[in-house]
Structure 1
């Protein structure tokens, strides 16, 4: 097993005063525009909605990058994930929308969130009798499934497709 895996970052919006901090974080993690697979140097300005990736980075780099972005560029709307390091493992996804929150969970190599069935079952079992799905999704379920953050992120993702 390797202790390294690919990681990718998409930044959809950020206040112009924090753009340099985002670019520094990208550079510090050795992320490249389009995975650095072009002969062109990365532009001096942030390309919103573009993939900045690295083919191999130490496990846990996604935690470091997410923490750096939240601390140094709190207005950044972003989604990042680090791929699973082997087929039976989860990757690590972090989505952030200022004013809405942050969602962290396991994921596939494509950044598709995984809900932990054991955790989901515990949460559902602990819900008071008569709790509607809608009520659960706006409370404990939102923490498990990230509905609020992922819903807020969706328009940003769509505008950059």
Structure 2
């Protein structure tokens, strides 16, 4: 696949035994970037979406041009303390400890249809937290969209157990 072949694998990053799927090689390639955004636009062109929400930070890179092409607003979901106005947040478990993501309190109106976007779904912890946060604000999640799915790690199944629809442009199995 044109997208998958443009994604670099970095062995043992950030820890020994991890095969890190790096989309910077996909993004720096003008054809790869265009194919990625075009495929997402084609998927969602006929779907009623009010906002695209992108998870920090690669979700911003993908979500903003997607929102622009779809003619809808873009909403950043950020790590704790990064947004300047009033926020609502959600804490979630990491392998070692907890983290928090936040969104502006005025970012999503009750009943708005939201497409959640990030570069990769692995364990699904951050995406799950983002879904909970968006729903807490009254948003209706249309789908959780990723460039890469690592299905063996379980995030895709985790989101589906929450009742979310999940889509990825490509998969890397076994890692």
If the length of structure 2 is used for normalisation, what is the TM-score? 0.30
Bigger Rg, structure 1 or 2: 1
Q: Which has the higher helix share?
A: 1
Q: Which has the higher strand share?
A: 2
Larger RCO, structure (CA 8 Å, separation 6 or more): 1
If the length of structure 1 is used for normalisation, what is the TM-score? 0.31
